[in-house]
């Protein structure tokens, strides 16, 4: 098993087994949190999962080599602290570069985007929408085709990236989990002010 993981402190590590196991529909998955990304091979049969509020996950898939990657970024970019996978620009560039090192080619890569919910309904700066706009813009500028999205709304979601670029999104309909995501977004608001200048329901959405 080969796993490449980017950590919140900008380290790239190579793993031979999952370091963070999450179970989705009784299936073992590799869980990532905000500020991380992971890359796996389809033949290892290890999906990647994450929990999103206003954060965004961009999933990339090389159809020729059957290599998939998912990141989870909190904000589009920051002049003060840009060299961290918490920020979209660094997360995207770093994950793409690691996929290129494995032999992936841009012409074989497609993307899906998830997240960007407005879970803080009374917060004037819609972080989620800005994250989604950044993800779209980055893919467009890099010439990477976005084939599907599951974005925006007012509820968080659990997202799983499986083999053959199969993806599942589950909307969060749990009050305590919703509050947890809202608290995370309040912390994001504090980060913005300091650094920036510029259980799940049964409804499964395949995208």
- Is the dihedral angle over the CA atoms 39, 118, 27, 34 positive or is it negative? positive
Rg (CA), the chain: 16
The rounded percent of the chain whose pLDDT value lies above 90 is 63
pTM: 0.86
pLDDT digits 0-9 by tens, 62-105: 999 999 999 999 888 755 554 677 889 999 999 999 999 999 99
Q: Where are the domains of the chain?
A: 3-206
d(CA 113, CA 4): 20
Strand extents, DSSP E, 44-183: 48-52, 56-62, 67-72, 109-115, 145-151, 157-161, 167-171
The three-class DSSP label of residue 142 is helix
Backbone angles phi, psi at 12, to 5 degrees: -110, 120
Give the mean model confidence (pLDDT) for residues 158-176.
87
CATH 3.30.1330.200, applies to 3-206 = yes
More confident residue, 52 or 124: 52
Torsion, Cα of 95, 20, 180, 138 (10° steps): 10
Lowest average pLDDT, out of 121-125, 150-154, 163-167, goes to 121-125
Lowest average pLDDT, out of 121-125, 158-162, 164-168, goes to 121-125
Distance of CA 109 to the CA centre of its chain: 16
């Amino acid at each position: 098993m080969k796993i490449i993981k980017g950590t919140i402190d900008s380290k790239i590590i190579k793993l031979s087994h999952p370091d963070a196991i999450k179970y989705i529909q009784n299936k073992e998955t590799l869980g990532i949190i905000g500020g991380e990304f992971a890359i796996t091979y389809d033949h290892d049969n290890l999906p990647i999962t994450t929990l999103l509020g206003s954060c965004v996950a961009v999933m990339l898939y090389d159809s020729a080599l059957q290599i998939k990657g998912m990141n989870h970024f909190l904000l589009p970019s920051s002049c003060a602290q840009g060299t961290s996978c918490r920020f979209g620009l660094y997360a995207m560039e770093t994950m793409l570069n690691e996929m290129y090192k494995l032999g992936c080619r841009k012409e074989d890569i497609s993307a899906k985007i998830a997240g960007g919910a407005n879970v803080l309904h009374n917060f004037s700066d819609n972080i989620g929408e800005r994250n989604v706009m950044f993800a779209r813009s980055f893919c467009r500028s890099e010439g990477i085709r976005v084939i599907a999205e599951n974005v925006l709304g007012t509820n968080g979601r659990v997202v799983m990236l499986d083999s053959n670029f199969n993806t599942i999104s589950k909307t969060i309909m749990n009050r305590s989990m919703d509050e947890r995501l809202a608290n995370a977004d309040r912390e994001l608001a504090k980060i913005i002010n300091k650094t920036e200048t510029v259980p799940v329901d049964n409804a499964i959405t395949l995208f």
